[in-house]
Structure 1
């Protein structure tokens, strides 16, 4: 009797736990995402998921504005690519020209500087830090001349990368970002330039989290991104900018678990305001969303018959990790639906060929779509195998009713 009472009680407990878990899931599904903050007294802003590229909120994000020292993000991108490709190295010594002379070039007067001296030699590593951490306009000129021979040629490289990265509303005229006619960008473009820096040039991006750098001064200069000192967020970059025309700009990126967000605030009234507004966006983003990785690179998600191939089956998935942004707590409820482009896959076929689509669904609503591709190369079989597959395929087509 006691054993029977025990199991009866145990079953009731399990039922209550199951009901509680179900209710919790239902509550999570129905819990609304809080409204995005409406930032006042700024010209434009945007918040994106850096991994999925999803835009979480925006205002005037495609409005063309003066970039100011956000320009240095592209200067840094070009330098990072030059180092990555082996065109230059961190140990290269750069001869400082008159144009890069901090106190000798009137264009640089009153601007942020590394305080370079004409005729001295400075390493690429130090100049790069001077650009990113100190926002040194003189360092930008020195590196432009070292990489491309002249500032104009370097600006040409910058604008080539603008096209390559698909930044449709950005054009640079200077290597440092001091106001110039026909120089402009948008909050949207700066967010995705930041994404490119993070994803494509991790070694270059690692410099952006450094809080100070000392060169040619008695004390180190501090990174102008004040959010690097904020203990409530894990901010590790990226860049500030300010001129009278631009106002106060800030591109910031922070990480929480698997989620990385990038915020852009342009045209704020002060350096403190650009930081507080950026923080508002980031906190809202982390509390409202998370990034999940439902598909890993080269992970087989679907196995399909392949006709006329040396192999009978082909594995399908993605060549890269796939990231999807979902409401906070909803990653467990994400489902995947696979849709093929055609009824049959035929060899020969290369690795990475799109043969369908992966739809990611929450509550039966499609929240993202990504290509479904072949994970392996399948070569064409011989004549005998092709003849056998031809007959089998025709038979399948004729009697498809029985195979579906």
Structure 2
């Protein structure tokens, strides 16, 4: 069968090859452009297209330090969404929380503090004491909270995570991976957009003490709006950061850097590289008809096909010129066909780009012909052969 060319606004020249092929959805890694980093662990994602732009030891266990407070905030946001807490709820300060060392919000012993203030203490001031108040308030004890956090991490797909506390306090059994932190951060951004603003707040005053947000990229005018720093002797200096430009959101996790200055400079360099060297291209809207695929023994001769959700692809800008988008399908597709049935795949290729495959589904039902119709179609095929 001759290839059909479909023109769209997003892609010039969509070659549609109708041939026997299986369908597989593969994770995309845009690895044409390369960069090195002094970070011990790192991963850079384009969340708009779910594409890994760069990674280094991303599945290596590491001490996440205060970056694991992202999970503490996540569980609090879930509790608020589930009706167990409100931002105006108050939680008591125990002696254990009051005595907690490290970075502090400076909670007052036996005081009752609003959840809204405690969240600001955790996210902006990195307060270990605020974490303990929230953990004890939600789960009765920090150890019970940590067990709940580890369980929730597994449910979210964080396969390299085990949490023993709510703060990131040094513990050899308290670990995450850079990839897990990226997955968690993405969940928080997407699951709780109404609370993400906490991460871009630059300072918070509590108990007469004003503290600035520790994320150095918030002050560099580079459209970064989150998320969390971390530092321990075991983990080095780390940062989980996210920013958005022109509809693209990048997410970076780095750890194992030697100093605060290196953390700031290296994080800024990696994010700028991601925005500069790569671009995200919108190919198809979810549900938009891509092509009509031939049907065998159906009440109609073709079925419209589409992608289930918006299809965006991220690749190095230099590779865009050679990008090809092909629809590969088992054609003709035998009736009956149900709306949503997978009938092929969209294949995106380009020089230096590892490729991306996305399933294509039927956009409507197609019933099977009755006995007479099938007999007529078979006779027609024997006489005239298949269309080309």
Out of 70, 95, 113, which is 1:73 matched to? 70
Cα distance in 2 for residues equivalent to 1:116 and 1:70:
21
Cα distance in 2 for residues equivalent to 1:70 and 1:399:
70
Q: Which has the higher contact order (CA 8 A, sep 6+)?
A: 2
Number of residue pairs matched?
358
Query: Alpha-carbon deviation of 1:79?
Result: 2.1
Cα distance in 2 for residues equivalent to 1:396 and 1:170:
61
TM-score (norm 1): 0.79
Q: Which structure carries more strand by proportion?
A: 2
Cα distance in 1 for residues equivalent to 2:139 and 2:373:
58
**Alpha carbons 1:94, 1:122 under 8 Å: kept:** yes
Query: Alpha-carbon deviation of 1:156?
Result: 2.7
Q: Does 1:64 align with 2:54?
A: no
**Alpha carbons 2:298, 2:334 under 8 Å: kept:** no
Q: Counterpart of 1:98? A: 95
Indicate how the Cα distance of structure 1 residues 161 and 295 shifts in structure 2: closer, same or farther if over 3 A, else same: farther
Cα distance in 2 for residues equivalent to 1:335 and 1:148:
53
Correspondence 1:198-209 to 2 at 5 A: 198-209=189-200
Cα distance in 2 for residues equivalent to 1:308 and 1:260:
46
Query: Alpha-carbon deviation of 1:291?
Result: 1.3
Q: Deviations over 1:113-161 (max 9, x none)?
A: 2222233222222222221111111222222233334323322332223
Structure 2 alignment gaps of length 5 or more: 1-30
Out of 290, 312, 317, which is 1:328 matched to? 317
Q: Does 1:370 align with 2:354?
A: no
Q: Does 1:139 align with 2:137?
A: no
Q: Counterpart of 2:386? A: 402
Correspondence 1:105-116 to 2 at 5 A: 105=99, 108-109=100-101, 111-116=102-107
**Alpha carbons 1:359, 1:368 under 8 Å: kept:** yes
Query: Alpha-carbon deviation of 1:287?
Result: 1.6
Q: What's the secondary structure of 1:180's corresponding residue?
A: coil
Indicate how the Cα distance of structure 1 residues 195 and 332 shifts in structure 2: closer, same or farther if over 3 A, else same: farther
Query: Alpha-carbon deviation of 1:228?
Result: 0.2
4+ residue runs over 6 A deviation: 307-312
TM-score (norm 2): 0.82
Cα distance in 1 for residues equivalent to 2:386 and 2:366:
29
Query: Alpha-carbon deviation of 1:344?
Result: 1.2
Q: Which structure carries more helix by proportion?
A: 1
Q: What's the secondary structure of 1:88's corresponding residue?
A: coil
Deviating more after overlay: 274-283 vs 206-215: 206-215
Q: Counterpart of 1:225? A: 215
Cα distance in 2 for residues equivalent to 1:125 and 1:188:
29
Q: Does 1:190 align with 2:181?
A: yes
Higher Cα Rg, which structure: 1
Indicate how the Cα distance of structure 1 residues 130 and 370 shifts in structure 2: closer, same or farther if over 3 A, else same: same
Out of 342, 361, 383, which is 1:354 matched to? 342
Correspondence 1:4-403 to 2 at 5 A: 35-36=34-35, 38-40=36-38, 42-100=39-97, 102=98, 105=99, 108-109=100-101, 111-218=102-209, 220-231=210-221, 233-304=222-293, 314-328=303-317, 331=320, 334-341=323-330, 343-347=332-336, 349-351=338-340, 353-362=341-350, 367-376=355-364, 378=365, 386-387=370-371, 390-391=374-375, 394-395=378-379, 401-403=385-387
Query: Alpha-carbon deviation of 1:345?
Result: 4.7
